[in-house]
Structure 1
Amino acid sequence: MNFSIKATIRALLAPDHRIFCHPECWSAILGELNRRGEDQHEAGAFLLGEPRGDRLIVREAIYYDELEPAAYSSGVCILHAPAFARLWSICRERRLSVVADVHTHPGAAFQSWSDRDNPMVARQGHIAIIVPNYANKPVNMQRLGIFEYVGDHAWIDRSPTRTPDFLLITRWI
């Protein structure tokens, strides 16, 4: 019964949201991104979770440097093929999917040419989230960059200023 009440409330309060994440999970992800970036370089993670119809539910994160220890050595996030093999293995073991990726930028959360040309997961519908100011607190959710990959190095801007109902941080998952 409890699950149906949560689902009903979520459907009434957030009918059009695409990605859902629990506040404690989101806060932990941002804290880890900030810690790993040391206020000096980008840091990133894959958000693992489960699809529920058109919705994506974030359950946990796998940080790039857990997959490839030298992922941040150039100052930007770079992963090679073995890191992705580890990622897919983790997804199989945990029975989760990559629902998005997230990484930090030093200033504004814009999509750089490198971000546009090198999607972490080059599959239509993949979501990339960019957090400004190396995820220093407080993170203004309205300043996130959120982009949906449509293929052929093209993206749709789903940032909160353009699509305010795309990402929802809520306990009602």
Structure 2
Amino acid sequence: MADSTLRFSRCLWLGCMEELRRRGAGTHESGCFVLGTSQGRRRRAVRCVYYDELDPRAYASGVCVLDGTAFPKLWEICRLEGLSVLADIHTHPGAAFQSEADRRNPMIARSGHLAVIVPHFADGPIWRHRLGLFRYVGDHRWTDLSGWRARSILKVSWSFR
């Protein structure tokens, strides 16, 4: 069975990477939820909601930690805009590996949810084959879609087709 694709417009993708870099300031992790629409196996990213917009203390420890009060705010945004959470993205200081904390604490614990990890606090060029890309399958288990396989799942284009 083919994996679902997650499509970003080039503008949204580049803007997201710049915001993650800016919010992390090269000193701590930053993250966001990717909101959009789904049709079959095609997911289309429409906007990002950054963790510190939902919880001002999300980066206080140096890693991304959301207080439970952040999620009702996220669900309200989804409801008002008619969107769904398609993925979450967060940065790491070095390589884009899935830490034990990431594995044990999915931001959205729903089968099929995608988690993207961006290396080097999103500083410098972001190559999709260097991202960590993981699909949640349930019970704290994930499928690793990182490396070159990520390019066939995470699509960035000038327009949606």
TM-score by length of 1: 0.88
Contact 1:108/1:132 (CA < 8 Å) preserved in 2?
yes
- Pairs within 5 Å for 1:11-50: 18-50=5-37
Question: 2:136 aligned with 1:118, yes or no?
Answer: no
Cα shift readout 1:103-161 (whole Å, capped 9, x = no counterpart):
00000000000000000000000000000000002112210000000000000011133
Unaligned runs of 5+ in 2: none
Contact 1:160/1:166 (CA < 8 Å) preserved in 2?
no
Contact 1:44/1:104 (CA < 8 Å) preserved in 2?
yes
> What is the CA–CA distance in structure 2 between the aligned matches of 1:80 and 1:125, rounded to whole Å?
23
Cα shift readout 1:5-53 (whole Å, capped 9, x = no counterpart):
xxxxxxxxxx976110001100000000000001000000000000011
- Pairs within 5 Å for 1:93-172: 93-172=80-159
RMSD: 1.3
> What is the CA–CA distance in structure 1 between the aligned matches of 2:87 and 2:10, rounded to whole Å?
16
Contact 1:100/1:128 (CA < 8 Å) preserved in 2?
yes
Give the match for residue 61 of structure 1: 48
TM-score by length of 2: 0.95
Cα shift readout 1:78-121 (whole Å, capped 9, x = no counterpart):
01211001000000011110000000000000000000000000
Give the match for residue 82 of structure 1: 69
Q: Which amino acid aligns with 1:77?
A: C
C-alpha distance 125-106 of structure 1, shift in aligned 2 (>3 A): same
**Deviation at 1:55?**
1.1
The structure with the largest alpha-carbon Rg is 1
Q: Which amino acid aligns with 2:142?
A: W
> What is the CA–CA distance in structure 2 between the aligned matches of 1:73 and 1:172, rounded to whole Å?
37
Q: Which amino acid aligns with 1:57?
A: R
Unaligned runs of 5+ in 1: 1-14
C-alpha distance 163-131 of structure 1, shift in aligned 2 (>3 A): closer
